A and B are shown apart, each in its own frame.
Chain A
Amino acid sequence: MTLLSVRNLKVSFDTETGVVEAVRGVSFDLGRERLGIVGESGSGKTMTGRSVLRLIRPPGRIEADEMRFDGVDLMGASETQMRALRGRRIAMVMQDPKYSLNPVMKVGAQLMEGLRQRDGLTRAAAHIKAVEALEAVQIRDPERVMLAYPHELSGGMGQRVMIAMMLIPNPDLLIADEPTSALDVTVQAEVLAILDGLVRDRGMGLIFISHDLRLVARFCDRVLVMYRGKIVEELAARDLLHARHPYTQGLLNCLPRIGGPRQPLPGLDRSADWAV
């Protein structure tokens, strides 16, 4: 069953030096599965994720032959319809919780805000739901976290709160843009495990955007590899080590390995045909 289908998506920006094409014709389908989008900076992976929510500000422009989410035409939808989708049915977790949480509002108030306004819950009912959400992301003392301000939380805690907040409305699709790259490696593993469990239990679709092939390979079913606004290779995550495209191979080989040889690391050949 297809949850999201994207055909020939293009994102371009008008700048002083001319039109810059960030995404150049990307197509993919997503079911209730975990899809990884991998690429280096400037590959258009973030823009692809944001386009699904039509969160590209002018002078950026989105064009697509088709972009459909569960029967809704995302290209033709009005801004009001989009607002109804965002957060409630499609949620997004960004890289750094520092910039995604309101710094002058307590965590609890931010979690309950949506519940009370959108779902019209009473204060007490919203409180119970918010605590449940925090427990779902394995926060040990949710009552204390509810009363904390964002700056009083560590990076890993902040990101868990963000995930809890995004998952309260039980969305069908979660877009996670580098959700763990601001975190330490040991915390990163925990947060990913939580995210993985939640997506699995609730049967959500997940788009996991990252620069790190290894992470994506571990946590996704399918991987799209992007380079300069195009998908260069699509493959099942378990086949990643047998990737055929030279770019994907290059990305894997250029990483140093513990106990690896001391020779110079192989770089990417950016002059090859595919790179143009």
Chain B
Amino acid sequence: MRTMDWLRDQNPTSRAQARAGQAYLNWLRLRRNPLAMAGLLITVILLLVALLAPWLAPHDPIAQDLSQRLLPPLSPGYPMGTDEFGRDILSRILFGSRITLYIVLLVVLTAPVAGLFIGTVAGYFGGWVDAVLMRITDIFLAFPKLILALALVAVLGPGMVNAVLAIALTSWPPYARVARAETLTVRNSDYIAAVKLQGAGGGRVIWGHIMPMCLPSVIIRVTLDMAGVILTAAGLGFLGLGVQPPLPEWGAMISSGRKYLFEQWWVATMPGLAIFIVSLGFNLLGDGLRDVLDPRSAGK
């Protein structure tokens, strides 16, 4: 109870408490949205599964056992069945969550940061800076995402890190656009005029005053895009250009199960379900976050 009072205190005594109180209010608002909570639950489960994979998985994800190949789901010891090399599909999916999360995290740490930087700088300075940066953005946007990623991987060579790099390089332009649009609405507001009037330079204004206003839109966009990132990673895996066998990447698993789709449907379906559930979770969470974080609703 005491923590609650501390969080709800109308007169916080430190910046940390003020921030925690705001976060708590947002959490209360998020909690009122059952779909967002479902999304959050799925995301948390993904995190836990990735963390605890070695303890949760009943088998080694890459150990082959040809005597046990293509067993159907619910076979003794193999709840989701086995694939063409007799590897346990459940264990592969559990370990695969680590790879998925790794890819998602790396993309999230690179693309939005780059996009945010480019977008706010372009929006704040305007003029030729804006023109140059936005035309570059347009060029990247003009390519279909997967094709551009394919081209990059083809140049860099297949592999997990290169796949992440390719995805990040193709997914920053939308963030730049969002950040720029947000910057344009914020740029002429009185509070920006006030801080300029106090003698603040461009860097300080962008970093301290404009970015915090763009961040919520970008965060929302990121959670909504995570599903897309997972799918692109899976797509690269499916085409054999992402994570290399025998690592249990979900897209690569679907790709290898394709050959058996009619007789042994579970080989491709199980990782497909995993991708579906995790993407859905991120989408629901992103939608809920939009209601909570949107700067237009924050003031009320």
Whether A and B touch (Cβ < 8 Å) is answered with yes
In the complex, what's the smallest C-beta–C-beta distance from B124 to chain A, in angstroms?
Answer: 28
B25 sits at the interface (CB 8 A): yes
Of residues 21 to 49 in B, which have CB atoms within 8 Å of A's CB atoms?
A: 25, 28-29
A-chain residues with CB within 8 Å of residue B25 when the two chains form the complex:
16
Q: Which residues of A contact B28 (CB under 8 A)?
A: 16
Nearest chain A CB to B294 CB, angstrom units:
16
C-alpha spacing A16/B29, complex, angstroms: 7
Q: Mark A1-32, 1 if CB is under 8 A from B, else 0.
A: 00000000000000010000000000000000
For A16, what are the chain B residues with a Cβ–Cβ distance below 8 Å?
A: 25, 28-29
Chain A residues with Cβ below 8 Å from B29 are: 16
Q: Give the shortest distance, in Å, between B292 (CB) and chain A (any CB).
A: 11
Tally B residues with Cβ within 8 Å of A. Answer: 3
- State A16–B32 Cα separation when bound (angstroms): 10
A21 to B63 CA separation, bound complex (whole angstroms): 66
Closest to A16 in B: B28
Docked CA distance A100–B64 (Å): 70
**Minimum C-beta distance from B143 to chain A (A):** 35
- The complex places the Cα of A16 from the Cα of B25 at a distance, in Å, of 8
Query: Which residues in window 9-60 of A have CB below 8 A to B?
Result: 16
Look across to chain A and name the residue whose beta carbon is closest to the beta carbon of B28: A16
Rounded to whole angstroms, the CA-CA distance of A88 and B28 in the bound complex is: 42
Kindly state the separation between the CA atoms of A174 and B28 in the bound complex, as whole angstroms.
41
Chain B residues 65 to 123 lying within 8 A of chain A, measured CB to CB, are none
Instruction: Looking at the assembled complex, report how far the CB atom of A47 sits from the nearest CB atom of chain B, in whole angstroms.
Output: 16
- Bound together, the chains give a CA A16 to CA B28 distance in angstroms of 7
User: B5-31 CB contact bits vs A (8 Å, 1 = yes)?
Assistant: 000000000000000000001001100
What is the chain A residue whose CB lies nearest that of B300? A15
Would you list which residues of chain B between 146 and 174 have a CB under 8 Å from chain A? none
State how many angstroms separate the Cβ of A199 from the closest Cβ of chain B.
35
Report the bound CA distance from A16 to B300 in whole Å. Answer: 12
Nearest chain B CB to A14 CB, angstrom units: 11
A16 CA to B27 CA in the complex, in Å? Answer: 11
A17, closest chain B residue (CB): B8
Distance in Å from the Cβ of B278 to the closest Cβ of chain A? 30
Which residues in chain A, 125-171, are within 8 Å of chain B measured between CB atoms?
A: none
Give the CA-CA distance A113 to B25 in the complex, in Å. Answer: 45
* CB nearest neighbor in A for B29: A16
CB distance from B151 to the nearest CB of A (A): 43
Distance, CA A16 to CA B8, complexed state (A): 11
> How far is A16 from B21 in the complex, measured between Cα atoms in Å?
13
| Binary contact track A183-200/B, C-beta < 8 Å → 1, others 0 | 000000000000000000
Name the distance in Å between A84's Cβ and chain B's nearest Cβ.
32
**Chain B's nearest CB lies how many Å from the CB of A22?**
14
A16 and B7 CA atoms in complex are apart in Å by 14
A10 to B275, CA, bound (A): 51
Contacts of B214-242 to chain A: CB distance below 8 A: none
A15 closest partner in B (C-beta)? B300
* A16–B31 alpha-carbon span in the complex (Å): 11
CB distance from A19 to the nearest CB of B (A): 15
Q: How far is the CB of B201 from chain A (nearest CB, A)?
A: 36
Interface residues in B185-229 by Cβ distance below 8 A to A read: none
What's the least CB distance linking A94 to chain B, in Å? Answer: 19
Closest A residue to B10 by beta carbon equals A17
A53 to chain B, nearest CB (A): 23
Shortest Cβ distance from residue B27 to the other chain A in the assembled complex, whole angstroms: 10
CB distance from A17 to the nearest CB of B (A): 8
**In angstroms, how far is the closest chain B Cβ from the Cβ of A15?**
10
A16 to B291 alpha-carbon distance, docked (Å): 14
Nearest residue (CB) in A for B8 is A17
Q: How far is the CA of A54 from the CA of B28 in the complex (A)?
A: 29
Give the Cβ gap from B99 to chain A, nearest Cβ, in Å: 39
CB distance from A85 to the nearest CB of B (A): 30
A181 vs B293: C-alpha distance in the bound complex, in angstroms?
Answer: 32
Docked Cα-Cα span, A12 to B28, in Å, equals 20
A206 vs B28: C-alpha distance in the bound complex, in angstroms? 42
Distance in angstroms from B26 CB to nearest chain A CB is 10
**How distant is the Cα of A16 from the Cα of B26 in the complex, in angstroms?**
10
Chain A nearest CB: distance from B140 CB in Å? 33
Task: Please measure, in the bound complex, the distance between the C-alpha atom of A202 and the C-alpha atom of B29, giving whole angstroms.
Answer: 49
What is the CB-to-nearest-CB distance from B160 to chain A, in angstroms, rounded to a whole number? 43
Chain A residues near B (Cβ < 8 Å): 16
Pairs A-B, 3 closest by C-beta atoms: A16-B28, A16-B29, A16-B25
Q: Could you name 3 residue pairs across A and B whose Cβ atoms are closer than 8 Å?
A: A16-B25, A16-B28, A16-B29
